[in-house]
Every structure is written in C-alpha cells, then in structure tokens.
Structure 1
Amino acid sequence: MPSAAERTRTLVQSTCSAVLLIPGLDRAAPHQLMPETRTVGPGGEVLLVLPAGSPAVRAAARAPEDGLTAVLELADVAPVSVPHRIRGRAWLSGALTLGDAIPAEAGRTALRLAVGEAHVDDLWGTGRVEPEDFAAAVPDPLTEHEAELLQHLHSTHGAEVRALGGLLGKRSGSLSAAGTAAVPVGLDRFGLRVRFTGVRCFDARFDFPEPVRDMSELRRALHTLFDAASH
C-alpha cells in the first residue's frame, strides 16, 4: 500500500479541493482562501497561487518575517456517483509567507507554505507525515488521469467491474443478485478499489500482479484482473 507520505503528496498534487485555514480569517468566504494552483517545490514546500486581493495574501504580506501559522486542508471526493463520496482528507500545517521569487500571472500572488507536519485520513487509514518524508515522497503516477479513468470504467466497463465480485470468495455472499451495484471508487498503481452497494455497502481492493508505472502497464493489469474474474 502507499505510505501516508505518498498519499498526502498525491492529494496535494491532485485536482481535489483545498482551502487555507488561517487564524483571524474565520469570516472570510471559503472561495477567497482556495488556491487556484498548487505545486510542491524541491524542498517539500507547497507553492500556492491565489488572487492578489485574497485575504490570505494580505495576511501573509503583513506577517512577521518567519511567516504566519496556516493549515492547508484538502478534501478528496470520488469522481463517480457513489454513497459516502469523500475518500479522504489531508492537513498540512506550517509557516505561510509570500513567495516573492515564484512567478505568477498578473493579478495573482504566490504564497509558500513551509510544511511543519501533515496528517492524512483516507480509505487506507490515518497517518502522520513528517516534513522530510513528505518532501521525499512521489505522487501516484495515475493521479493525473484517475478521475477520467474511474468515470470510464464506471460508464463503459460496468459489467466487468461488477464481475470482480466473484473474486471475493466468502465475502461474495454479501452481494445479492438484485439491487447490488459495483462502483470503481479508487485507482492507484497498486490496484483498483470497488464499492459494492446494496443490502450492505463495503469496499474491496483488487490488487494488480505488480505495481504499474504508466497507462500501458495499467491497461495490461486491468485486462489481467478482468480475465481472472471471467473464469
């Protein structure tokens, strides 16, 4: 399974929603504190771009030289319609400063969050992440395409995904022929997560023979998985 640091890094570099939590800005509208873009610098710092008039930018400009305390909160929502759509959350706390050396378009300002600690709570479990582990972690190679891949599997390969229930052994008894849906809810280099809903609702992980590194390897891994379910 991916480490807590890898999962946190993947969320930061994914398209999931994010908002800055800054003491004293509780009354600011949430959309004013949502970065338009976010990237991770070579030292593990998180680089955020916001409108120049954002309350977060104004607060960072008035802050002491060592910055102000802030938390970047991320919420990961499944890109397919399924019960309990929130797949995970992550929180990265640290010192927020102006990123004067970071290029930004006109009307935009870059901020720099020096990560002091991070936590993740997702479908894998909970975990604390140290700054050096976050800096060294690599995001999942499928994160850029995960949303469209899950939507494609759900809309085009529903029968194959549903057939994976036959690989559950004793757990397949939890599935009833009528009213059971199988929705692909997560995809990473290690395998596919499917949520079975009906009389009961539960997740099942279907591991690939080995971790995949790109789309070509993913296609082969999925074909292997679906072939196993069809026999």
Structure 2
Amino acid sequence: MPSAAERTRTLVQSTCSAVLIIPGADEAGPDELMPEARTVGTDGAVFLLFPAGAPPVRAATHAQDDELPVVLELTDVAPVAVPHRIRGRAWVSGWLTCAPGVAEPGYMMLRLEVGEVYLDDLWGDATVGPEDFAEAVPDPLTAYETELLQHLAAVHDDHVQGLSGLLGQRTDVRRVVPLALDRFGLRVRCRDAAGCSFDARFDFPEPVGDIHGLRRAMHALFEAAGPAD
C-alpha cells in the first residue's frame, strides 16, 4: 500500500482543491485563498502561486522576516459520482514566505516550509513529518487518475460491474463504481440490496509504473472477474 507520506505528496501535487488558511485573513474570500498552481521543491517545501495582490501575498510580505504560520488544506473529491464523494483531506502546516523573482509579472510565488502534515483519507488517518514528506514521491498515475476513472465508469461499466464476482460471499451487490486508482491497485465503492455502501479494493500482483503496466494489470483483473455480462 502507498505510505502516508506518498499519499500526501500525491494530494499536494494533484489537481484536488486547496485553500490556504491564514490567521487574520478572515475577510478574504475562498477564491482569494486558492493558489493558482502548486508544486513541491527538492527540499520538500511547497510552492504556491498567487496573483501579486492576493491576501496571502500581502500577509507574507507584511510578515517579512517574521514567521507567518499557515495551513494548506487540501480536499480530494472522487471524479465520478459515488455516495460520499470526499475521498480524503490533508492539512499541511508550516511557515509562509515570499519567493520573489520566481513567478511571471503580476504574480508572486510563496514558499510554504512544511512543519507537519495530517492526512485523513480512504486508508485512515496519519501524521507525516517534514522529512518523510520531502523524501516521498507522488503516485505515477496521479496525472491520469481522473480521466482513467471516468473512462472506466463510462466505457467499461460492464467490466466494472463484473468485479462484484470477486467479492466472495457478498452476493447482494447491486452497483459497483470505480473510486480510486493508484500504482498498487483499484478501489471501488459498492452498493448492496439494502442501499448501503461499502468499499472493496483489488490489489495488482505488482505495482505498476506507467499506463502500459496499468493496462496489463486492469486486463488481468477483469479476466479474473470473468466475462462481462
């Protein structure tokens, strides 16, 4: 399974929504606190791109040499329609400073030095330290996950429904929806005859490193489930 540090790096470097929580910036609108881009530096710091006049830039500029404590809150929502669509949240706490000269005119790059990360996702909750966060790498499929899950739901729904045959004694499954995908396997959300939801995960025989490996792993998984209806 992916480590908590890897899952956090994947969230930070994915396209999931993010908002910067800054003390004293209560009057700022949510849109003003959402970075337009984000990335992670080689030292593990998180770089956030904002318009030059955005409240986070003003706060970081005003703080100057003082430490400005902030929290970057990330929310991961399933890209397909499922009950309870929020797949996870992460809170990256640390100190914010300006990184002048990095962004194009009209923008400012802000540097978030990571102090601690708290993660609560489909795997459970965990705390991640800055060293582990810096050393982790995002899942190689994260850039394709949204498109792949939507493709599975729209084009290969018959094969996805066939995965219920791999659930052993759970014969009351009425609906299966792809929920999450990573290099280790596929997670689905199922609905039973009573309308209750539960998750099932299908691990690949070995982690996949690219789309070609994923294609082979998914083909083997669907074959194991038997022919589609």
**TM-score of the two chains, using structure 1 as the length reference:** 0.95
Deviations 1:25-60 (A, max 9, x none): 112101000000000000000000011110010000
**8 Å contact from structure 1 (residues 87, 123) kept in 2:** yes
**Cα offset, 1:106, TM superposition:** 1.9
3-state secondary structure, aligned to 2:221: helix
Which amino acid counterpart does residue 188 of structure 1 have in structure 2?
A: D
3-state secondary structure, aligned to 2:152: helix
**Cα offset, 1:75, TM superposition:** 0.2
**Cα offset, 1:100, TM superposition:** 1.8
Q: 1:113 corresponds to which residue?
A: 112
Which amino acid counterpart does residue 197 of structure 1 have in structure 2?
A: R
**Cα offset, 1:213, TM superposition:** 0.3
3-state secondary structure, aligned to 2:56: helix
**Cα offset, 1:66, TM superposition:** 4.2
Q: 1:9 corresponds to which residue?
A: 9
Measure, in 1, the Cα distance between the counterparts of 2:95 and 2:45. Answer: 10
Q: 1:156 corresponds to which residue?
A: 155
**8 Å contact from structure 1 (residues 40, 47) kept in 2:** yes
Q: 1:142 corresponds to which residue?
A: 141
Measure, in 2, the Cα distance between the counterparts of 1:53 and 1:157. Answer: 46
**Cα offset, 1:82, TM superposition:** 0.9
Unaligned segments of structure 2, at least 5 residues: none
**8 Å contact from structure 1 (residues 66, 95) kept in 2:** no
Measure, in 1, the Cα distance between the counterparts of 2:27 and 2:168. Answer: 52
Q: 2:39 corresponds to which residue?
A: 39
Q: What fraction of aligned residue pairs are identical, expressed as a percent?
A: 64
3-state secondary structure, aligned to 2:94: strand
Measure, in 2, the Cα distance between the counterparts of 1:107 and 1:191. Answer: 42
Which amino acid counterpart does residue 168 of structure 2 have in structure 1?
A: G
**Cα offset, 1:67, TM superposition:** 2.8
Measure, in 2, the Cα distance between the counterparts of 1:141 and 1:126. Answer: 22
Matched length: 225
Measure, in 2, the Cα distance between the counterparts of 1:182 and 1:167. Answer: 12
Which amino acid counterpart does residue 111 of structure 1 have in structure 2?
A: L
**Cα offset, 1:70, TM superposition:** 0.3
1:205 aligns with 2:201: yes
RMSD, matched Cα? 1.0
Measure, in 1, the Cα distance between the counterparts of 2:172 and 2:199. Answer: 12
3-state secondary structure, aligned to 1:169: coil
3-state secondary structure, aligned to 2:167: helix
Which amino acid counterpart does residue 184 of structure 2 have in structure 1?
A: F
**Cα offset, 1:162, TM superposition:** 0.8
Unaligned segments of structure 1, at least 5 residues: none
1:62 aligns with 2:66: no
**Cα offset, 1:4, TM superposition:** 0.6
Q: 1:76 corresponds to which residue?
A: 76
Measure, in 2, the Cα distance between the counterparts of 1:55 and 1:130. Answer: 28
**TM-score of the two chains, using structure 2 as the length reference:** 0.96
Aligned residue runs from structure 1 range 65-104, under 5 A: 65-101=65-101, 103-104=102-103
Deviations 1:84-138 (A, max 9, x none): 000000000001000125x212211100000000010000100000000000001
Q: 1:173 corresponds to which residue?
A: 171
**8 Å contact from structure 1 (residues 38, 49) kept in 2:** yes
Measure, in 2, the Cα distance between the counterparts of 1:41 and 1:100. Answer: 15
